[in-house]
Structure 1
Amino acid sequence: MRLIAFDYFRAIAILSIVAGHCISYKSITSFDERVIANLIQGGSPLFVFISGFFFHHIFYRQFAYSQFMLKKVKNVLLPYLFLSSLALIYYLSSGVSLPDANELGITSLSHWQDYLTMFGLYLWTGRTSFAYWYIPFIMLIFLMSPLFISYIRQGVKTRITIFIIALVVAMIVHRPAGNLSPWHAVLYFLPMYLLGILVSMHRDFVQSYMANKTIVLAAGVIFLAILQVLIYPGFGNLHKLHAFTFDGLDILILQKIVLCFFFLSLLQKLSERYPDIPALMLLADASFAIYFIHPWVLIALVGYKWLPYVEEMSGLVQFVVTFPLTIIISLAVAYLIKRGAGHYSRCLTGW
């Protein structure tokens, strides 16, 4: 049975991810801007939560590791390899500096071994684009699937205990600096994946419990966004290089957990009343393609200044302009590729 509320959730998740990237281009300084930025940034946990939910809902009952991984390679890894390779070819042929080359330890490209090492480093970290770090991380999660099968088979108390331990660890380790370490990302995002599994296992209970708490959950999300501003000078995601050095507790992941439950409460009601909203269904179906394409659209609009007067715009004004443009252009490009490549488009863009 198709879960319309989760189709809508996938649409909201990809909008959140693109929005977080759009708002990060300009400096955000005032209190209210930082609160808004905290609410907008950090959309990736929503995607991880959904992935964990569907791991149990779809794959668990007839789980076959080889078939599962083959599907993920085809639908996730192949588009990543294709688009990352195109990006590297562009960087090398155009003379544009390789992103994060110093951080990755790439100092020279004199021999074929240097190019091979460079290629491997960019595929491992996903740093051909500011968004592609997600693919090496999520492929590690998929490779760990037998552990999640074992997790599902544990008793309720054991599952809850493991989730709480994973959450505490995530709050300590923060996200990796520059998103350059996939294993560090696994430590941070693991509780979101486990939470998705737990919600799938206890979906009826969660839905009934959250049914009339939409406003309370919304207030909780806003409270945590404000609390983060009061504690930390910056905004959005917390990053650090060394996972187990203590530098405060990550509040954003708590906010995103509450945000997941807020959307579950809101979207369940919405899907019951409006079970076929075309725009949300289209965004859900094209979500992975939008994810793969939107970094390049945003770089063109803002980084290469294809958008007129982009430098004169304030942070939030630039966001209001670039966010819908990035979504529309990314969706249009994805649609054209899908029409042109037919069934091969799934290997190119994930749609």
Structure 2
Amino acid sequence: MTWEQWAWWHRLWTDSTVFFVIISGYLFHHLVSDRRTISRFLGQKLRHVFLPYCVLSLLILVCGGLRNHESPVRVLQDYPLHLLRGDALLPYWFIPAQLGMTAISVVLWYARQYARVLVVLPFLILLTVLVPRPVDSIGWSLLHFLPFYLLGIALSKYRQRSLAWLGRWRNLAWLAVAAVCLYGLSLRYYGVNSLQKGVVFLLLYGWLERRQTAGWLESLPGCWMKWLADASIGLFFLHYLFMEGLGWWLARHPVMLNPYAMHALGMAFSLGGSMLAVTLVRLLLPHHSKFLIGC
């Protein structure tokens, strides 16, 4: 398999941003029930997501400025713009985009307009095929992923109904996944990737629900699952730093590996390194780590 072919298979099978967006919407509706809980939810978002985002973005921008011999004053002047664009580090675009989706959801919650919006949700999800998601545009990314955030809200709001529907139509959903994959591969069109991931998420969600009913999830090691859940935001904030470090090292010490091996190496190094870093920060700053890395 060539690197070009790998890039397409990689996008179709491993680009799972949609998963995180749907889960974020699901948790928003699951945790918010009244004005008191919505205030608590937003407060936690600001303290444990936005504040670490601001701190880490500043540290990364200052380090980058020093390495490129830029004026510290210039770095500070551009800092608010970098926060809005989420470009201090490649994955950080997700934070302002997610905060924007949360803000829209709060407005809909107060206006009691969920039902009207969710009626047209299938149409909005289909529109994501036409809405681009350039890495350097928060606005377009927000428009692209907002329907999937609303899908997460719908799955929480109509949980039993959606699970019953998934049980009846899962074979058709598998057919849709195959069709979308073939469409994307044959036409080399990136726009279908999010739609494909949305359908895969629905299938996975229905499968996990059935396995949970059978007691399968309870058999998993609880301490590790809890640790990963608690540390997930910290892993998000730190993992790409290790990927950048590995990329820097490989650029100076080329290694001939096939795409699968390189991908496995990158995943193992970034996940292992970020898990170690999260553990160290939490040990060194047990009462303040949430304000630095979110956990």
TMscore range, shorter length: 0.7 to 0.9
Counterpart position of 1:191: 147
Q: Which residue of 2 aligns with 1:84?
A: 57
Does residue 129 (structure 1) correspond to residue 89 (structure 2)? The answer is yes
Q: 2: distance between equivalents of 1:130 and 1:346?
A: 21
Asked if 2 retains the 8 angstrom alpha-carbon contact of 1:302 and 1:310, the reply is no
Match of 2:4 in 1: 29
8 Å CA contact 2:118–2:150 kept in 1: the answer is no
> Bigger CA drift: 290-299 or 210-219?
210-219
Contact 1:49 1:194 (C-alpha < 8 Å) held by counterparts: yes
Aligned to 1:53: 26
Give the Cα–Cα distance (whole angstroms) in 1 for the partners of residues 80 and 10 of structure 2.
37
Within the candidate set 93, 96, 104, 1:144 is matched to: 104
Q: Residue by residue, what CA displacement relative to the aligned partner does 1:240-274 show, whole Å, maximum 9, x if unpaired?
A: xxxxxxxxxx2112101101112102222333323
Equivalents in 1 of 2:219, 2:230: separation in Å?
A: 13
2:262 matched to 1:318? yes
Query: Helix, strand or coil for the counterpart of 1:144?
Result: helix
SS of the residue corresponding to residue 92 of structure 2 reads: coil
Paired residues of 2:133 and 2:144 also in contact (CA < 8 A) = yes
Matched, 1:258 2:199: yes
In structure 2, what is the equivalent of residue 10 of structure 1? none
Gaps of 5+ in 1: 1-26, 97-108, 239-249
Match of 1:329 among 259, 264, 273: 273
Structure 1 Cα separation of the partners of residues 187 and 8 of structure 2: 12
2:75 is the counterpart of 1:115: yes
Contact 2:48/2:294 (CA < 8 Å) preserved in 1?
Answer: yes
- Going from structure 1 to structure 2, the CA distance change for 1:122 and 1:217 (only over 3 Å counts) comes to same
Counterpart residue identity of residue 216, structure 2 = R
1:277 aligns with 2:220: yes
- TM-score (normalizing by structure 2): 0.86
Partner of 2:90: helix, strand, or coil?
coil
Question: Matches of residues 304-315 of structure 1 in structure 2 within 5 Å?
Answer: 304-305=249-250, 311-315=255-259
8 Å contact kept, 2:234–2:293: yes
Cα distance change of structure 1 residues 127 and 213 upon mapping to structure 2, 3 Å threshold: same
Counterparts of 2:143 and 2:46, CA distance in 1? 22
| Residue 146 (structure 1) shift | 3.0
For structure 2, the 5+ residue unaligned runs are none
Distance 1:29 1:111 in 2: 40
Deviation at 1:85, TM superposition (A): 0.9
The whole-number CA distance in structure 2 between the counterparts of 1:310 and 1:215 is 45
Structure 1 pair 116/86, CA: closer, same or farther in 2 (3 Å)? closer
Q: 1:195 Cα shift? A: 0.3
1:217-240, CA deviations, whole angstroms, 9 ceiling, x for partnerless residues?
Answer: 45543442232011116xxxx4xx
What residue number does 2:13 align with?
39
SS in 1 for 2:218: coil
How many equivalent residue pairs?
291
Residues 224, 251 of structure 1: 8 Å contact kept: yes
**CA offsets 1:41-81 (integer angstroms, 9 cap, x no match):** 2x211111011111111113445554433221101001111
* Distance in 1 separating the partners of 2:211 and 2:125: 30
